[in-house]
């Protein structure tokens, strides 16, 4: 067991000071959320798709595509891949409806924010992006809740390819935070003939980056400067993101390619950062193992 300390993003300092000044309070109820870490191979190691999230997101100002659960995530979906009972065992969650909502939320948010759709007409097929404008219009309608994700899939005769997802990590925002998420992180690769694009009129920045190269410059402001937003410029990695993102990037950087990364089983115990003050400086403290992952494969485990 090791103790990791992460710098607190500047926009959270006032809230942290308030929490300490007034003593223990009842933490705000977290919202359920999901995120998807897209991965691909490159000459610089495993790459992942990072996006900018405005408004001081609990997932980090720079994070993986994702968002909070919606009511439609509990609707009836055509389902390809492991059954809900298998997913429940893998995620160690007894409530299968809750498990479904996390998985559907992950696939829906990924589609809204990047256009990547993990769906097909059967257990072997994956839909292709045949009309970029039609695709974008559908994403806008789903994001604006003018069109239910379940209805969108039904109209096209598509089912969810849940077998294309792997659970990566489970995180709960610290107690002091004004906005809290109980977030499941998943990972996936981009299906053939699909391409990640930002949501029209909403997305501000997104880019494929080498996990290893991001971490090599984690103590500089290079990534924040590239993103170029007022709450990212001149800030180091831990000041623009969340510990979950950094630790997942570490696991990607350590993997010998995407296949190796996807085939590992992870320790899916809930991680819950705590607020720590040292010499007047606030940190997020995370307890856990040095490596978030083992070498046991998803298949061997029933299918950080």
Contact 66, 36 (CB under 8 A): yes
Q: pTM for this one?
A: 0.93
pLDDT in tens, 261-270: 998 877 899 9
* Nearest in space to 163 (alpha carbons), one of 267, 63, 83, 244: 83
pLDDT > 90 fraction of the chain, expressed in percent and rounded = 85
pLDDT-derived band at 52 (thresholds 50, 70, 90) equals very high
Buried b (16+ CB within 10 A) or exposed e, 124-135: eebbebeeeeeb
Q: Domain ranges in the chain? A: 2-288
| Average pLDDT for 183-205 | 94
Report CA-CA distances (Å) from 165 to 42, 161, 182, 250, 287: 20, 8, 18, 19, 26
What's the rounded Cα separation, in Å, for the pair 74 and 96? 10
Is the per-residue pLDDT at 240 higher than 50?
yes
Residue 267's pLDDT is what? 83
| Average pLDDT for 137-151 | 96
* Nearest in space to 101 (alpha carbons), one of 65, 77, 119, 127: 77
Six token digits for residue 16: 């942290």
| Average pLDDT for 46-74 | 94
Sequence-distant (6+) residues with CB within 8 A of 10 are 231, 235, 239
pLDDT in tens, 92-118: 999 999 999 999 999 999 999 999 999
State the chain's mean pLDDT as an integer. 91
Residue 24's pLDDT is what? 67
What's the rounded Cα separation, in Å, for the pair 157 and 78? 9
| Average pLDDT for 33-38 | 98
CATH assignment of 2-288, given 2.40.50.140, 3.90.79.10, 3.40.50.300, 3.30.470.10?
Answer: 3.90.79.10
Residue with the larger pLDDT of the pair 291 and 85:
85
pLDDT-derived band at 286 (thresholds 50, 70, 90) equals very high
Q: CB atoms < 10 A from the CB of 206, how many? A: 19
What's the rounded Cα separation, in Å, for the pair 168 and 297? 12
Residue 131's pLDDT is what? 81
Residue 300's pLDDT is what? 28
Is the per-residue pLDDT at 296 higher than 50?
no
């Amino acid at each position: 067991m090791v103790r990791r300390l992460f710098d607190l993003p500047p926009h959270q300092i006032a809230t942290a000071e308030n929490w300490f000044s007034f003593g223990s309070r009842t933490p705000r109820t977290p919202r359920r959320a999901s995120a998807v870490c897209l991965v691909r191979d490159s000459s610089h190691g495993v790459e992942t798709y990072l996006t900018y999230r405005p408004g001081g997101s609990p997932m980090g100002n720079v994070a993986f595509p994702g968002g909070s659960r919606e009511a439609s995530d509990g609707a009836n979906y055509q389902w390809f891949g492991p059954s809900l009972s298998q997913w429940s065992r893998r995620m160690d969650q007894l409530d299968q409806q809750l498990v479904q909502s996390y998985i559907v939320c992950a696939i829906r948010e990924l589609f809204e924010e990047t256009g990547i759709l993990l769906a097909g007409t059967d257990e072997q097929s994956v839909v292709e992006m045949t009309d970029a404008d039609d695709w974008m219009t559908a994403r806008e309608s789903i994001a604006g809740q003018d069109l239910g994700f379940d209805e969108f899939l039904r109209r096209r005769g598509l089912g969810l390819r849940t077998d294309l997802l792997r659970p990566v990590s489970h995180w709960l925002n610290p107690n002091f935070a004004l906005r809290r998420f109980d977030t499941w992180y998943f990972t996936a690769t981009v299906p053939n003939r699909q391409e990640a694009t930002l949501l029209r009129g909403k997305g501000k920045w997104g880019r494929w980056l080498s996990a290893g190269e991001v971490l090599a410059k984690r103590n500089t402001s290079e990534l924040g400067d590239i993103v170029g937003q007022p709450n990212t410029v001149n800030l180091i990695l831990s000041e623009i993101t969340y510990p979950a993102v950094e630790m997942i990037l570490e696991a990607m950087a350590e993997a010998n390619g995407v296949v190796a990364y996807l085939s590992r089983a992870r320790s899916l115990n809930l991680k819950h950062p705590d607020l720590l003050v040292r010499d007047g400086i606030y940190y997020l403290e995370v307890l856990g193992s040095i490596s978030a992952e083992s070498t046991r494969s998803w298949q061997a485990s029933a299918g950080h």
